[in-house]
């Protein structure tokens, strides 16, 4: 069973349990809970690592956040004002 099929089945069982409980259908709710318990655990989706925005063009035209991201990606210090970051990037 694919992850999306598993997720959809899990949602449907949870909805069924809520309906059964609202209708005082304890046996059906118990059976649905047992089936839900037997499903494999859902895995958390892997977060895609986004590339930091380092900007393009001249350093002077970039934001401080872009300069810091660029310095960090190069393993350089990221502290200081914009002029300090530009100097660090040019030296590094």
State the pTM of this model: 0.48
CA distance 57 to 43: 41
Q: Inform me whether the pLDDT recorded for 45 exceeds 90.
A: no
> pLDDT for 78-90, tens place per residue?
988 999 999 999 9
Structure-block tokens of residue 84:
């300090």
Phi-psi region of 75 (alpha: psi -120 to 50; beta: other; left: phi over 0): left
Spatial contact of 70 and 89, defined as CB atoms under 8 Å apart: yes
Backbone φ and ψ of 55, nearest 5°:
70, 180
Count of beta carbons in the 10 Å neighbourhood of residue 27:
8
The answer to whether the beta carbons of residues 81 and 89 sit under 8 Å apart is: no
Q: Quick one: tokens of 50?
A: 């986004």
Cα of first residue to Cα of last residue in the chain, in angstroms, is 51
pLDDT greater than 80 at residue 62: yes
């Amino acid at each position: 069973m694919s992850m999306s099929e598993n997720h959809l089945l899990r949602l449907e069982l949870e909805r069924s349990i809520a309906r059964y409980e609202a209708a005082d259908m304890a046996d059906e709710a118990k059976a649905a809970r047992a089936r839900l318990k037997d499903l494999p655990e859902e895995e958390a989706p892997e977060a895609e690592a986004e590339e930091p925005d380092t900007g393009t063009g001249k350093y002077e035209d970039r934001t401080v956040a872009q300069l810091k991201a660029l310095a960090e990606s190069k393993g350089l210090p990221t502290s200081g004002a914009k002029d300090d970051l530009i100097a660090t990037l040019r030296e590094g």
